[in-house]
Copies of this chain bind each other. A is one copy, B any other.
Amino acid sequence: MSIKAGIVGAAGFAGIELVRILTEHPTFELNVVTSDSLAGTPVTDLYPALLGHTDLAFEPHGLDALAECDAVFLAVPHTAAMSQVPALLEAGISVFDLSADYRLKDADVYERWYATRHTSPGLLEKAAFGLPELFASDLVRAAGERKAGHPALVACAGCYPTATSLAAAPAVRARLVSGTVIVDAVSGVTGAGKKATERTHFCFANESVEAYGVGTHRHTPEIEQILGLPGRIVFTPHLAPLNRGILSTVYLPLDAEHAKGSSIEDIHALYEGFYADDGFVQVLPIGSMPKTGSVAGSNSCHIGLALSQAGDMLIAVSAIDNLCKGAAGQAVQCANIVFGLPEATGLSASALPV
């Protein structure tokens, strides 16, 4: 079997990570990669790491180029995605959207945070949420529909929401958490995108850590939706001098009643059980904390757990690669499920050990 795939916006960082994964994927066959600004340029001119791995050149955006595809991955900014999704679906093509356009179920919330009117709100309900460990049934449903001839639309979760929600969900879903949840996260510079700016200039990013988007980052409502904690997330992202990786430190106040008497061992066991069937998630032993370097280049998520001194707050720390599990890897994981493949197909590489 071979599934024909295309990537829209393949020259960006999430896009090229999709190229990397799909060129090695045993079942997906990558036929089209698009980039308006770089149309005509061989992929390897821009990314020589892929020399010997792909001969594709970037093509201009447009439905024509994608007509033969079974699956299209959208790695374009928000609003650019929703301008293309309806036509792709109508053409019978399953869409894996890495943008924010179909993540928020409420079009009003989208409009408030993204300052733009949603142009296809009718698709919001259809869209499966692309975070397999937490929304498996969404993807199972999409897989069924696709088998029945209806193309899938998967709204892949954002990078910070993925890291944060995997750290928080087992405790939240077990109703152990009350009050406001603080999320303090650090990202590598690939998270700031391929555009050369002052923020991404080596000499400004290097040897420095900074906070940004304090109190205003658009991943806030997404985390609230995933965890079912409307208005209860305070989220502060930071930038650190590394290429790949997100570390999310999540402060979960324990509910005085439901979590009464819960030891760290109890909570650790809860997490291990929660993720027992999820090959990409590793709950570290009590006493260990994750490092982003241990997951860079992989689709893994490592989670560490500790209690505060007073014992009334769970501190859950997770590490992912923002471009892989936080973007391209997760999209391929979703596509594997939707197309009936084992979810780890083409995603089994570990991070470099050092």
Contacts and interface: CB of A to CB of B under 8 A. Distances in A.
Interface of A: 13, 16-17, 19-20, 23-24, 47-53, 180, 182, 184, 186, 188-190, 194, 196-198, 200-212, 214-216, 220, 231, 234, 236, 238, 240-245, 247, 249, 251, 253, 279-280, 282, 284, 288-298, 300, 302, 304, 306-310, 313, 315, 317, 319, 323, 348-354
Contact of A214 (B186, B208, B296, B317): B317
A353 B244 CA distance: 11
17 contacts: A20-B352, A24-B350, A48-B290, A49-B351, A190-B203, A196-B197, A196-B200, A203-B354, A207-B242, A207-B292, A208-B245, A208-B293, A209-B240, A210-B319, A211-B290, A214-B306, A236-B315
Contacts of A251: 182, 184, 234
Contacts of A288: 48
B352 A211 contact: no
B231 A249 contact: no
Contacts of A203: 13, 189-190, 194, 200, 243, 354
A350 B53 contact: yes
A348 B209 contact: no
A165 B294 CA distance: 33
Contact of A300 (B51, B212, B298): B51
A231 B292 contact: no
Contact of A352 (B210, B215, B242, B297): B297
Contacts of A13: 203, 354
Nearest to A184: B184
A180 B308 CA distance: 11
Nearest to A54: B350
B294 A48 contact: yes
A282 B304 CA distance: 36
A196 B209 CA distance: 19
A260 B218 CA distance: 27
A345 B186 CA distance: 36
Nearest to A316: B214
Contacts of A353: 16-17, 19-20, 47, 49-50
Nearest to A305: B214
A176 to B, nearest CB: 16
Nearest to A351: B49
Contacts of A242: 206-209, 240-241
